[in-house]
Amino acid sequence: MSAKVTGAARYTDDIVLPRMACGRILRAPHARARIRAIDVSRALATPGVLAVITGRDLETKYGILPWTEDEHALALEQTSYVGEGVAALAAIDEPSARAGLAAIAVDYEVLPAVLDPEEALAHPEIKVNPSAREGNVSKHVDLSFGDVEGAFANADVVIEEEYRFESNTHAALEPHCAIGDADFDGNLTLYSSTQVPHYLHRALAKVLGLGAERIRVIQPAVGGGFGGKSEPFDLELCAAKLALLARRPVKIRYSREEVFYAHRGRHAMKMRFRTAAARDGKLLAVQSKLLIDGGARSSFGVVTTYYSGQLLAAPYHLPAYAFNATRVFTNKPACGPKRGHGSVQPRFAFECQLDELADCLELDPIELRRRNALGSEVTTINGQAIGSNGFRECLDAVERASGWREKFRKLPFGRGVGVAGSTYISGTAYPIYPNEMPQSAVIVKLDRSGQVVITSGVSDIGQGADAMLARIVAKELGCSLDAIRVHSGDTELCPVDLGAYSSRVTMMAGNAAIEACASLKERLGDIGSDFAGAVQRAEAKFGTLVGVGGYRTKKLGGDYRGGSIGASPAYSFTAHVAEVEVDARTGFVHVTKIWVAHDCGRAINRTAVAGQMEGSAAMGFGEALFESHAFHANGVHRGPNLLDYKLATTLDSPELEALIVECPDPAGPHGAKEAGEGPLHPSIPAIANAIYDAVGVRLRALPFSPERVLAALKGRKS
Amino acid sequence: MSAKVTGAARYTDDIVLPRMACGRILRAPHARARIRAIDVSRALATPGVLAVITGRDLETKYGILPWTEDEHALALEQTSYVGEGVAALAAIDEPSARAGLAAIAVDYEVLPAVLDPEEALAHPEIKVNPSAREGNVSKHVDLSFGDVEGAFANADVVIEEEYRFESNTHAALEPHCAIGDADFDGNLTLYSSTQVPHYLHRALAKVLGLGAERIRVIQPAVGGGFGGKSEPFDLELCAAKLALLARRPVKIRYSREEVFYAHRGRHAMKMRFRTAAARDGKLLAVQSKLLIDGGARSSFGVVTTYYSGQLLAAPYHLPAYAFNATRVFTNKPACGPKRGHGSVQPRFAFECQLDELADCLELDPIELRRRNALGSEVTTINGQAIGSNGFRECLDAVERASGWREKFRKLPFGRGVGVAGSTYISGTAYPIYPNEMPQSAVIVKLDRSGQVVITSGVSDIGQGADAMLARIVAKELGCSLDAIRVHSGDTELCPVDLGAYSSRVTMMAGNAAIEACASLKERLGDIGSDFAGAVQRAEAKFGTLVGVGGYRTKKLGGDYRGGSIGASPAYSFTAHVAEVEVDARTGFVHVTKIWVAHDCGRAINRTAVAGQMEGSAAMGFGEALFESHAFHANGVHRGPNLLDYKLATTLDSPELEALIVECPDPAGPHGAKEAGEGPLHPSIPAIANAIYDAVGVRLRALPFSPERVLAALKGRKS
């Protein structure tokens, strides 16, 4: 497990195969254009160039969701954003590849483009995405639960405000990288820095027209995902196709600039929230209207649109709730899932609104949240079945640890504290493509040496999936952690797991691992102190010892638990308190500390859970203060590099204190729930609320840059 | 399966790991010496040298058979043959490694040595192998079945002659190569060109003192084994130890010279055979006395000694049989198993003797063999339970194909034909280390893509083990061969198989594969034409589809089948006719053609079976005519390179015609028996007998060099 610390981990880009060629993708320079013609003849004649492909070589559409397959590996007639791939090639080395790219002639007819969702809705004739059914609407969801209008009519207090969430991106340290390797029998191996080997496997088969049984996807060590590697990317399909054509391994690695254009990060949202409450602070209804900037492709957009509303119905009891969300196509790189997919933005809005409500009612905002807490074993207004719920414990923990009562509204001007809460899912009930097969499976093989070998399709993307499986199996079998080897992320060796997204891995693969151990435990009988001896006795009696386990979402009353998109087997809960210092002269916000309490059900690996809590909070902090994935009017990114894109470094980050709360969930493996995404959500509103406590201004738009803070302070003074 | 043809196969030496160091072994220049001291200080100070080890660093004894563990990775007090390792080192590159080796100072006290078994027996005070219990005897077996003396007393005719079989070696194209790779958690991966990953796994754990559960042995593509990679070798242990010390991957690859000194090839034997027969040619008794030159270590010698007698009791019915075999230690590299282990030498002697008997009785030698053929479903005099038996069909096939009746004793002087027969085992009843666990296991996993993934510990050493498993599973499951992927030769990923030796793989792993498919077939139900669809339906119903199968030798009447060393689940049968032209002026023997009929039970892969038959016959041909693994009086090899060691090339080899005979055996998978070793045996005596037919001289010593043929012709004339 020390491979990353010691530098021994082998990432995709570390892999060197014999005769490996260098692949590159040519990208469109226009936000929207028609491709009149592409001439690759000079590129093919360039010394060292082995193969060149264009959109026609990979015509089949694909997409992560089967209902919205709107992607081509390379553009066909039209390009829809700056950075869209239009051609690709493989060459014997990088200089030849560059020379080859420069020799490709693309004849573009530049077309008008829309870069803003409102503009896109106003101009349906500028069709961003040809597959959109209606103008530039990507997805529209309008759902209402309970008597919303009645609740607003009878409320003691109604707060209504608009909030804006800037787009931001994952910026994982490892750029996307893929290696295609085809053998002479027509079998393909694709190495890729992906979070979803299984979906990539399916996409490769579909787009290449190759039997899926001929394809192997291997996911080497991944240097960060955060949702940014959760769907098939052009480089994977191009590396595969070029390898088949060139009959050599072909590696394509994104430049950092390409990573920014590949994006699939956090959606910008314009959000209007209305909250109705009684005088005692009890929430009566919440209503939201969300305008979501989707970029040019669907990506996970259908899910984003649902999540933006569905995941807000906890951790507070809402007697009535409605949301109206519209995702719009714009001529920019597609947005997709980033840590806390779909719900980070509305959570920011709503937790700020709760702070305003508490202020209005002169209630302590922690007390307001406590009064509205849902509790455990309840069903939300939108039908989500909550199991364990440690939200109150989280509130207590951050209140106590932060010295809240001594600080809130009591610190001198320029210093303040803020609180926020949240909930998140532990995987979703539905697989992305509808089927009745297990969402996750684990095979455990015992060797007579006492070695325990786990194979599972889970993707360890740095979140510790492999270590999680090892710990669960060690506990189940009563063996030493040292005896365990985990092989994961290989579609050929491993049974299917759907991938590392939606915080599903521990819940699903963990349960599958427990099931895999059950029959082994039976065969092992009384282990005693000699594990290898017990294995040998059992092997002599029963033959090779292999246990297989799977995970299917449990059905409740004939339907999957919760029954809707966003429904999960279990829900995590989080509360943060942030403390800030605001320099009223410069507008600079210094976050001194964030206390992060998170109910992860059961911490299978306390270090990993604390790491996820700290990492999530730090990422939220960076989004709150610095990050801006923004574009010039011509569709060119404002700073597609790690100098201009202000990712928070360890030097920028606040002190973080992880307060692990354990409320074991009956659905979780050993009671565990998610910990990797939930703890990001409250960072942003907690900081916003702390800024209000410090200097009395409400920031309703991200990031909380010095300019924005200064502007707000001026508005307050005026 | 085209990897070897297209050059894509990755052998151990093709593997390059980051920061990999070059390892080398320093070897003793004396046949027998005491090591007074080794000074490695100058080597350690040599630039680029990372680590140096001597015998003291790997003190624990090991050996392939648990009863005769007499090896050290590097010599301790005494060296016992030229080429024995005394120290090893790892350096950043090869020049540094050479410089480091040159800087190691070993102070030897040269001791008297014995290079010949008779000399060794005469001088027990010159103790070759300190672990020998009694003088220089490595193993003595003296077994008698039936009334041998009575049979000889009542025989119509008795033939008695002495035969000598020169030592020869495997000379696989790929030299032995190993890479040790230790991680910072103390886990070791060893890549090795081995035929026995499982035994290597055990030896590494034992010698390194590392838990076996921390060790992974990976066998990449192997460029030929033939028995020469069937036990742990010094380079494997040294590469592992050096990797642990240097904290870098360490690769050691034998030079061609080192391969010759590593040896473990065919034992030289001096063999006296007596055969008693009735006038009609019916055999009454056979008695042999064998003196076996073992070299300095036990290796598989116990097995060799048994096999040299036990495997002669078929394919002819012997009413009485006795053998007395003594393996002797000499100060030369150890002999071990080479294709046809233990029985090629006595088979040469006995089949020549049968030719002499036929001659004496004026019987056609094929007819003589036919009259004595055992038949099927019988038990030999030494208790071996024969199942199917296609020996008569083999005799018929070569008789017909070769035009025997028109040629035998009818060709002009200088041209002749000869026949010989043989039998061989399909694995042995006992594992090498006694245990009740399966000898082989196979796991078959079905992916919802329709891909079928086989994992098995079998070692594909070029013999086609992987393809054999694929074909069996394809037939069992009714899927396409294209859908099958085989992962083998990896102790971590694969369930245990004991290795590629004794022609056990098809019999044992093949049966395990059938067993693994049984439960899958049940779950798949009616497959129809859409295999992937059937898998998906079954996976939805039963979860991930994994089948596990194993092979245990069947017990008959409470004991393992046959009950003795050399007993096998099934026996193959072979007959050859060789046609030769002998130049009486030069003594040069030109073998024009060998007809090879072999009863392999059922040919699972006809191309592979024919390839094994042709390859075996060609190898026997080379042993008969050219090869000589011989030593100078000082223990130095006479020609440890592929120029001096006259390996037969394709240009030298005769035309070969493989006549596959299929007599399905109830014990074999789909009826299959071995095909990789049996077809070697008759080549040598068939050629000898053909030389007699051509020029009337009996050659009773190998190789049939021009000198030896000329000398025999002179003896005949005189």
Tokens of B270: 């001096």
Let me know whether A289 and A415 are in one domain: yes
Provide the chain A residues 538-557 that lie in CB contact (below 8 A) with chain B: 539-540, 543-544, 546, 548-550
Closest CA to B458 of B432, B486, B482, B483: B486
Tokens of B332: 């030369």
- Residue A715's pLDDT band, with cuts at 50, 70 and 90, is confident
Which of A6, A436, A487 is nearest residue B184 as measured by Cβ atoms?
A6
Backbone angles phi, psi at A261, to 5 degrees: -75, -25
* B650 contact A CB<8A: no
Let me know whether A79 and A210 are in one domain: yes
Closest CA to A673 of A573, A575, A595: A573
What distances in angstroms separate CA A388 from CA A309, A385, A600, A660, one per listed residue?
22, 10, 10, 15
Let me know whether B55 and B180 are in one domain: yes
Closest CA to A312 of A281, A334, A283, A280: A283
Tokens of A313: 């119905």
pLDDT of the residue at A434: 82
pLDDT digits (tens, 9 = 90+) for A589-606: 999 999 999 999 999 999
Between chain A and chain B, the number of residue pairs with CB atoms below 8 A apart is 152
pLDDT digits (tens, 9 = 90+) for A208-248: 999 999 999 999 999 999 999 999 999 999 999 999 999 99
ipTM: 0.94
pLDDT > 90 in chain A, percent: 92
Which of A216, A455, A546 is nearest residue B548 as measured by Cβ atoms?
A546
Within a domain: residue B167? no
CA atoms of A93 and A87, how far apart (whole Å): 17
Q: Which domain holds residue B539?
A: 440-551
* A518 contact B CB<8A: no
Let me know whether B204 and B294 are in one domain: no
pLDDT digits (tens, 9 = 90+) for B483-521: 999 999 999 999 999 999 999 999 999 999 999 999 999
Half-sphere exposure of A260 (CA within 13 A, CB side): 23
What distances in angstroms separate CA A497 from CA A377, A469, A504, A514, A569, one per listed residue?
28, 13, 10, 15, 16
pLDDT of the residue at B5: 84
Within a domain: residue A637? yes
Q: What is the dihedral of CA A481, A485, A489, A493, to 10 degrees?
A: -140
CATH code (residue B491): 3.30.365.10
Could you say which of A213, A244, A262 is where a domain stops?
A262
DSSP letter for B213, please. G
Q: What residues of A are in contact with residue B493 (Cβ under 8 Å)?
A: 453, 455, 487, 493
Residues facing residue A422 across a β-bridge:
A574
The residues near A396 (Cβ < 8 Å, ≥ 6 apart) are none
The residues near A309 (Cβ < 8 Å, ≥ 6 apart) are A141, A143, A288, A290, A323, A324, A325, A346
CA atoms of A393 and A401, how far apart (whole Å): 12
- Long-range CB contact pairs, B558-561, < 8 A, 24+: B560/B429, B560/B430, B561/B385, B561/B429, B561/B667
- Residue B435's pLDDT band, with cuts at 50, 70 and 90, is confident
Within a domain: residue B274? yes
Asked whether the predicted pLDDT for residue B701 surpasses 80, the reply is: yes
Helix ranges (DSSP H) in A234-300: 234-246, 256-262
pLDDT digits (tens, 9 = 90+) for B389-419: 999 999 999 999 999 999 999 999 999 999 9
- Residue A429's pLDDT band, with cuts at 50, 70 and 90, is confident
Which of A438, A451, A491 is nearest residue B544 as measured by Cβ atoms?
A438
* B123 contact A CB<8A: no
pLDDT of the residue at B561: 43
Minimum mean pLDDT among A412-426, B342-356, B427-441: which range?
Answer: B427-441
CA atoms of A443 and B697, how far apart (whole Å): 65
The residues near A298 (Cβ < 8 Å, ≥ 6 apart) are A63, A65, A68, A69, A70, A71, A129, A131, A138, A139, A334
The arithmetic mean of pLDDT across residues B672-698, rounded, is 98
Which of A2, A10, A544 is nearest residue B438 as measured by Cβ atoms?
A544
pLDDT digits (tens, 9 = 90+) for A463-486: 999 999 999 999 999 999 999 999
pLDDT digits (tens, 9 = 90+) for A312-360: 999 999 999 999 999 999 999 999 999 999 999 999 999 999 999 999 9
Let me know whether A416 and A335 are in one domain: yes
* A487 contact B CB<8A: yes
Asked whether the predicted pLDDT for residue B156 surpasses 60, the reply is: yes
DSSP letter for B11, please. B
pLDDT > 90 in chain B, percent: 92
Structure-model confidence comparison of residues A564 and A432, the more confident one:
A432
The arithmetic mean of pLDDT across residues A681-694, rounded, is 98
Which of B183, B492, B544 is nearest residue A548 as measured by Cβ atoms?
B544
- Are B16 and A16 in contact (CB < 8 Å)? yes
Let me know whether A236 and A185 are in one domain: yes
Within a domain: residue A152? no
Helix ranges (DSSP H) in B440-495: 465-477
Let me know whether A292 and A423 are in one domain: yes
CA atoms of B265 and B389, how far apart (whole Å): 29
pLDDT of the residue at B63: 96
Could you say which of B489, B516, B551 is where a domain stops?
B551
CA atoms of A458 and A412, how far apart (whole Å): 50
Burial of B180: CB neighbours in 10 Å, binned 0-12, 13-18, 19+: buried
What distances in angstroms separate CA A427 from CA A424, A505, A549, A560, B390, one per listed residue?
9, 7, 18, 13, 62
Could you say which of B551, B581, B614 is where a domain stops?
B551
- Residue B141's pLDDT band, with cuts at 50, 70 and 90, is very high
A561-599 as b/e: b if 16+ CB within 10 A: bbbbbbbbbbbbbbbbbbbbbbebeebebebebbbbbbb
Asked whether the predicted pLDDT for residue A119 surpasses 80, the reply is: yes
CA atoms of B328 and B338, how far apart (whole Å): 18
Within a domain: residue B400? yes
- Is the CA virtual torsion B659, B660, B663, B667 positive or negative? positive
Report whether B696 contacts B359 (CB < 8 A).
no
Closest CA to B235 of B25, B384, B54, B436: B25
Q: Tell the residue number behind the tokens 């700073």, with chain if given.
A: A639
CATH code (residue A29): 3.90.1170.50
CA atoms of B435 and A539, how far apart (whole Å): 10
Closest CA to B80 of B327, B294, B236: B294
CA atoms of A616 and A680, how far apart (whole Å): 4
Q: What residues of A are in contact with residue B2 (Cβ under 8 Å)?
A: 183-185
- For an interface test with B, give the residue of A200, A437, A481, A508 to mutate (most B CBs within 10 A): A437
Backbone angles phi, psi at B193, to 5 degrees: -80, 80
The residues near A488 (Cβ < 8 Å, ≥ 6 apart) are A219, A454, A455, A456, A457, A458, A459, A460, A465, A466, A469, A494, A497
Backbone angles phi, psi at A276, to 5 degrees: -110, 135
Provide the chain B residues 188-207 that lie in CB contact (below 8 A) with chain A: 201, 205
pLDDT of the residue at A476: 98
Which of B201, B213, B482 is nearest residue A214 as measured by Cβ atoms?
B482
Provide the chain A residues 593-612 that lie in CB contact (below 8 A) with chain B: none
Let me know whether B340 and B447 are in one domain: no
Let me know whether A713 and A609 are in one domain: yes
* B518 contact A CB<8A: no
Q: Is A546 strand, coil or helix?
A: strand
- Residue A7's pLDDT band, with cuts at 50, 70 and 90, is confident
Asked whether the predicted pLDDT for residue B539 surpasses 70, the reply is: yes
Mean pLDDT (chain B, rounded): 95
Half-sphere exposure of B114 (CA within 13 A, CB side): 24
Q: Is A158 strand, coil or helix?
A: strand
Let me know whether A190 and A300 are in one domain: no
The arithmetic mean of pLDDT across residues A239-259, rounded, is 97
Minimum mean pLDDT among A99-108, A433-442, A539-548: which range?
Answer: A433-442
CA atoms of B481 and B469, how far apart (whole Å): 10
- Residue A409's pLDDT band, with cuts at 50, 70 and 90, is very high
Q: What residues of B are in contact with residue A445 (Cβ under 8 Å)?
A: 443, 495
Report whether B442 contacts B593 (CB < 8 A).
no
Asked whether the predicted pLDDT for residue A642 surpasses 70, the reply is: yes
The arithmetic mean of pLDDT across residues B445-453, rounded, is 97
CA atoms of B260 and B642, how far apart (whole Å): 10
The arithmetic mean of pLDDT across residues B558-580, rounded, is 80
Q: Is B294 strand, coil or helix?
A: strand
Provide the chain B residues 214-233 that lie in CB contact (below 8 A) with chain A: 214-216
B461-472 as b/e: b if 16+ CB within 10 A: bbbbbbbbbbbb
Let me know whether B625 and B671 are in one domain: yes
Q: Is B647 strand, coil or helix?
A: coil
Tokens of A241: 């196709």
Within a domain: residue B498? yes
The arithmetic mean of pLDDT across residues A636-648, rounded, is 95
Within a domain: residue A709? yes
The arithmetic mean of pLDDT across residues B616-636, rounded, is 97
- Residue A25's pLDDT band, with cuts at 50, 70 and 90, is very high
- For an interface test with A, give the residue of B210, B216, B449 to mutate (most A CBs within 10 A): B449
Q: How many domains, in total, are found in chain B?
A: 3
Within a domain: residue A163? no
Reported pTM: 0.95
Closest-CA distance of chain B to residue A687, Å: 41
Let me know whether A305 and A236 are in one domain: no
